Amino acid sequence: MAKKNVKVLPAARQILDMNAFDAGAHTGALNPLLERRIANVGASAVLFYREPIEVVSASGSWMTAADGKRYLDFYNNVPSVGHTHPRVVAAVTDQIGRLNINTRYLNSVVDLYLDALKARFPASLSNVVLSCSGSEANDLALRIAAATSGGTGIIVSENAYHGNTSIISDISPSALKRRGLPDHVVTVAAPSNAGQSDSIENAFAADIKRAIAELGRRGHKLSAFICDSIFSSDGVYADPPGFLRKAIETVHKAGGLYIADEVQPGFARTGDAFWGFARHDVMPDVVTMGKPMGNGFPMAGLVTRPELLERFCEDTGYFSTFGGNPVAAAAGMAVLNVIDEEQLQENALRQGNHIKERLRDVAAKDDRIAEVRGAGLFLGIELCRSGKRDQPDAEVASSVINGLKDRGVLIGAAGKFGNTLKVRPPLSLSEEEADIFVDRLADTLSALPAA
């Protein structure tokens, strides 16, 4: 029987599969380096693009491929102060030539950095644990939450990604392929106004309340609500600032912790504030960070209140061989200094607003752009079937990504259906580079057949 007026949504997409190279679908000969990579890493290969790019060098907002082609990097939010920034390179080079050691020894480079990092947070978040990856930071955050709350239940957004350890994969719906979420994890929809009659703040708090009740029915007391403060993998949801307030109140009333995952939005990217949570005027119990922290030098960490860390450390010994090493601290310090001296937070706001304004003109002429969201240099461009805002179009997103790549611009996708373009260039972006992106996006869209 024909179904009338039934909206058929595409299947949800796994975050690591979006825009990925697919060896199975590849036709023709593999280039030798690609063949070698696949032979080396097997099923864990996560290469980008239908035809992966071999990159050999980078500077500022640009990466150069082995064939000499230059790409404007609008994807990579790790080299946030610009690829190979000379200040970061000099700091790392100097320190690795002097000493690199673990945190069982005193070293002033490390403590100068910890002081500088803590100065960016509310005073109550005065203990820092440094690690090597965002996953490790989130893993520790969950363990601190369990020790503090005595609970086991976790709330996450429905397409969240928080990392790759065992307990963190369990709270990363977008990384799970065949199995569903475990019993102690309940999801909430990303905070958007789609289909809501109430304010985003009220609707999101009501969702959190429902999730707490669901955990209760399953016999789990709330341990934590963890969210990426700009809901990156859910499709970039930033506005209106403050929409997290009531949700966090609800979490705290239920005895749970609020963990702010700043791995993507942190370190000035949103332009409005240094941290994504600060845009919402909320107070996290734990903040985790990573990616841009060392501008490519692998480092991550968390900040929390001393009593929470004490409670966890009473039960469990915790040490990391590489976490908090002086070379990482030197990289991290250079990043903080460059953000300040080059006024990159202000630049992120200025260039982000410029891109948003120009994208409004593009959207006015192309009804496949459903919405442009985001803050500073973290924007999401949601794509849909022509004029049908409720019909996500991941195919057009994929064609735009590959079309932009041909035109020398690198960009990725996010969102439950993989139909939101993620715009995350270095914070040092110039207006000229911002315009190159918008012009090439408009060219790419106009070269695609109407959907």
What residue ranges bind ligand PMP (CB under 6 A)? Answer: 133-135, 138, 161-164, 228, 232, 261, 263-264, 290, 300
CB of 160: closest distance to ligand PMP in angstroms?
7
* Contacts of the segment 165-171: beta carbons below 8 A, 24+ positions apart: 165/135, 165/136, 165/138, 165/139, 167/139, 167/142, 167/143, 168/135, 168/138, 168/139, 168/142, 171/142, 171/226
The neighbouring-strand residues paired with 412 are: 422
Query: How does DSSP assign 258-311, residue by residue?
Result: EEEE-TTTTTTTTSS-SSTGGGGT---SEEEE-GGGGBTB--EEEEE-HHHHHH
DSSP code at position 45: -
Q: Of the two residues 161 and 417, which places its CB atom closer to ligand PMP in the complex?
A: 161
Q: Of the two residues 76 and 135, which places its CB atom closer to ligand PMP in the complex?
A: 135
Question: What is the rounded CA–CA span in Å between residue 99 and residue 146?
Answer: 36
Q: Of the two residues 135 and 159, which places its CB atom closer to ligand PMP in the complex?
A: 135
CB of 232: closest distance to ligand PMP in angstroms?
6
Question: What is the rounded CA–CA span in Å between residue 20 and residue 34?
Answer: 13
Contact between 117 and 336 under an 8 Å Cβ cutoff? The reply is yes
Question: What is the rounded CA–CA span in Å between residue 60 and residue 80?
Answer: 9
- Token match 């099923």: residue? 43
CB of 80: closest distance to ligand PMP in angstroms?
13
CB of 288: closest distance to ligand PMP in angstroms?
7
Q: Of the two residues 138 and 295, which places its CB atom closer to ligand PMP in the complex?
A: 138
Name 326's Cβ contacts closer than 8 Å, sequence gap at least 6.
Answer: 95, 98, 99, 100, 101, 107, 109, 110
Q: Of the two residues 320 and 391, which places its CB atom closer to ligand PMP in the complex?
A: 320
Task: Please name the helix (run of DSSP H) or strand (run of DSSP E) that holds residue 138, with its range, or none.
Answer: helix 134-149
Question: What is the rounded CA–CA span in Å between residue 323 and residue 102?
Answer: 7
| Pair type for strands 300-304 and 127-131 | antiparallel
Q: Of the two residues 129 and 441, which places its CB atom closer to ligand PMP in the complex?
A: 129
Name 185's Cβ contacts closer than 8 Å, sequence gap at least 6.
Answer: 153, 154, 155, 156, 170, 171
Tell me the residue nearest to ligand PMP as measured from the CB: 134
CB of 449: closest distance to ligand PMP in angstroms?
33
CB of 447: closest distance to ligand PMP in angstroms?
31
Q: Of the two residues 15 and 438, which places its CB atom closer to ligand PMP in the complex?
A: 15
Q: Of the two residues 300 and 441, which places its CB atom closer to ligand PMP in the complex?
A: 300
Cis check: omega of the bond before 191, within 30 degrees of 0: no
Q: Of the two residues 76 and 152, which places its CB atom closer to ligand PMP in the complex?
A: 76
Question: What is the rounded CA–CA span in Å between residue 434 and residue 427?
Answer: 11
Task: Please name the helix (run of DSSP H) or strand (run of DSSP E) that holds residue 143, with its range, or none.
Answer: helix 134-149
CB of 451: closest distance to ligand PMP in angstroms?
29
Question: What is the rounded CA–CA span in Å between residue 150 and residue 169?
Answer: 21
CB of 282: closest distance to ligand PMP in angstroms?
17
CB of 300: closest distance to ligand PMP in angstroms?
6
| Pair type for strands 300-304 and 286-289 | antiparallel
Question: What is the rounded CA–CA span in Å between residue 117 and residue 302?
Answer: 10
Q: Of the two residues 300 and 377, which places its CB atom closer to ligand PMP in the complex?
A: 300
Q: Of the two residues 223 and 444, which places its CB atom closer to ligand PMP in the complex?
A: 223
CB of 166: closest distance to ligand PMP in angstroms?
13
CB of 430: closest distance to ligand PMP in angstroms?
26
